[in-house]
Structure 1
Amino acid sequence: MRHRASGRTVGGMRSFLLQAPAVSLLLLWMLVPLCMTLWFSFQRYNLLNPFISGFAGVDNYTYLLTDPALWTAMGNTLLLVGWVLAITVVGGTLLAVLFQQEFFGRGIARLLVIAPFFVMPTVSALIWKNMMMHPVNGVLAWLFNLFGFQAVDWFSSLPLTSIILIVSWEWLPFALLILLTAIQSLDDDQVEAARMDGAGPIAIFWFITLPHLKRAISVVIMIEMIFLLTIFAEIFVTTSGGPGLASTNLAYLIYIRALLDFDVGGASAGGVIAIVLANIVAIFLIRTVARHLET
């Protein structure tokens, strides 16, 4: 008994020593930036004026929380995340059902529909800005003129809607890929039995396919929401947060505070607020996904 206990102790110590470098590097990678952000959030630190320095207490947080720009940015962030999730989950589910069917050229069609996910966000934003949504030379302007409608200046009149469309185009292939993989594990015998009992396509989708995709949909929502909270490149390339603050989300507001206003303390306080918001969302999503995985 003593030898076995000693063996477990030595094995556990050896395993700990092997894992220690990777765990230590991961902790440093996470804790050092977090601690620096917390430190600067309580400091007066302006890059243009080095004489503005010293301990600020909660002044940076008070200024941000009483600034209407913060609440506008948070509202835009929630709208952006909510609409993109709705579009990608609903569209991804319907496309997954469609691409599960047999038709000529299905392999090529799957490849083409998944391709946008591998395009860099900056390139996607440039494509939509200069080729699709341009009010004079864009494809959408040509279609509007073709049917007798007036072309829309998307980034001036509908800036947040434009960002939502661009980001949805980028993330729809991801949702499709996950949901298509999940739908392929659906038992064909169950579907055939439902058809023999007289169930139509809508009933099969609602009572068999959709419950089967519940876990995959939860995973898609969790992963997408984590990334959608930090959308930046699409806004920077197309609208620069404007007009005014119409398309400014929380990530872009932090960029404005840090690199345009040169207020490192205020930007760090915004970063801490963003971290708290992201963790609240992550905890809620993890519990929701875990609940679905248990059922």
Structure 2
Amino acid sequence: MATLQTKSAARLMMAPAVIALLIWMIVPLSMTLYFSTLNYNLFNPAQTPFIGLTNYRFFLTDPAFFTALTNTLKLVAGVLAITVTGGILLALLLDQDFYGVNIVRLLVIAPFFVMPTVAALVWKNMMMNPVYGTIGQFLNWIGIGAIDWFSAYPLTSIVIIVAWQWLPFATLILLTALQSLSEDQKEAAEMDGAGPVSVFWHITLPHMARAITVVILIQTIFLLSIFAEIYVTTSGGPGLQTTNLTYLVYSQALLQFDVGGASAGGIVAVVLANIVAFFLVRIIGKNLDA
């Protein structure tokens, strides 16, 4: 009886927070769903006739949608490849005992705390500028010649900027997992004649599998909504080469003033993100159970 009363009291105490969270989520989603069924243009906000699913049909058949979806997938895949691979290598390096390791760890983690807009401005003006950027001056110095990154390789440039921001996060998670690995296992393998590559492949990497899965899950959820880096550097261009789903929705709402179409695009983006999150959660759940 006391246990039931305790559970009831706990649920009663949690109820306000749960209700507030539901309102916080459901009200904006409901408004977006409502606007997506209207012909709502900011040039004529007084006339918003109901048009049903027409906005969804136009959005899903727009060639820009498929380009934005492809760019989104390329952006996520490219950043994950760099951050996971680089995170593993940096975690292995920072797990060693050398002079100044704590300072190095702090410097490696620092980029994660830089605001996306600031990071994009720094890379655009100080690193990738073909005239006075650090990378351009270095390429000129070695005789290759400066590259106008945002014109020649726009999507690659965005991938580099975003990966630079998220690499510290991956390194921190993977380093934490690596430090929980028992040294006895590695010493036993080395005594049996296993080399460094074999120890890494058969002991270290399997031990880091769960952490790698967590990194992929968390980063994917956030990378699907990358916006500031694109807005500051390329504005979705040249053409549509760096337009992802987030920027496409923004351009329809605030550049084309089509609130109805942008709302439909937002719902489509939410559905796609939830589908990706669903499969990732299932994958990480299987890994954790294993």
The aligned counterpart of 2:106 is 111
- Residues 1:277 and 2:263 aligned together: no
**For residue 162 of structure 2, what is the amino acid of its counterpart?**
V
1:68 corresponds in structure 2 to 63
- Say yes or no: does 1:12 pair with 2:12: no
Determine if the alignment matches structure 1 residue 195 to structure 2 residue 190.
yes
CA deviation after TM superposition for structure 1 residue 156, in Å: 1.0
1:227 aligned to 2:185?
no
Given the alignment, which residue of 235, 244, 253 partners 2:239? 244
Q: Does residue 146 in structure 1 map to residue 137 in structure 2? A: no
Q: Distance in 1 between matches of 2:86 and 2:7?
A: 48
Identity of aligned residues (%): 63
Q: How much does 1:50 deviate?
A: 2.4
Does residue 136 of structure 1 match 2:131?
A: yes
Deviation for aligned residue 1:9: 4.0
The one-letter amino acid paired with 1:269 is A
Matches within 5 A, 1:1-295: 4=1, 7-295=2-290
Distance 2:8 2:148 in 1: 64
Distance in 2 (CA, whole Å) between partners of 1:291 and 1:62 is 36
Query: What is the one-letter code of the residue matched to 1:177?
Result: L
CA distance in 2, matches of 1:52, 1:81: 39
Moved runs in structure 1, 4+ residues, more than 4 A?
Answer: none
Residues 262-281 of structure 1, C-alpha deviations (whole Å, 9 max, x = no match): 11100000001001100000
Return the letter of the residue paired with 1:12.
K
Letter in 1 for 2:15: A
Classify the secondary structure of the residue corresponding to 2:137. helix
Amino acid at match of 1:49: N
CA distance in 2, matches of 1:59, 1:189: 63
Please report the TM-score for the alignment, with normalisation by the length of structure 2.
Answer: 0.98
Which string of whole-angstrom CA distances, capped at 9 and with x for unpartnered residues, describes residues 127-186 of structure 1?
A: 000000001000000110010011100011111000000000000000000000000000
Which ranges of structure 1 fall in alignment gaps of 5 or more residues?
A: none
| Alpha-carbon distance in 1 for matches of 2:247, 2:45 | 24
| Uncovered stretches (5+) of structure 2, i.e. residues with no partner | none
CA distance in 2, matches of 1:36, 1:230: 20
1:218-272: per-residue Cα shift (whole Å, max 9, x none)? 0000000000000000000000000010000000000001111111100000001
* TM-score, length basis structure 1: 0.97
Task: Supply the AA of the counterpart residue of 1:235.
Answer: I
Distance in 1 (CA, whole Å) between partners of 2:85 and 2:252 is: 36
> In the comparison of the two structures, how many residue pairs are matched?
290
Letter in 2 for 1:184: Q
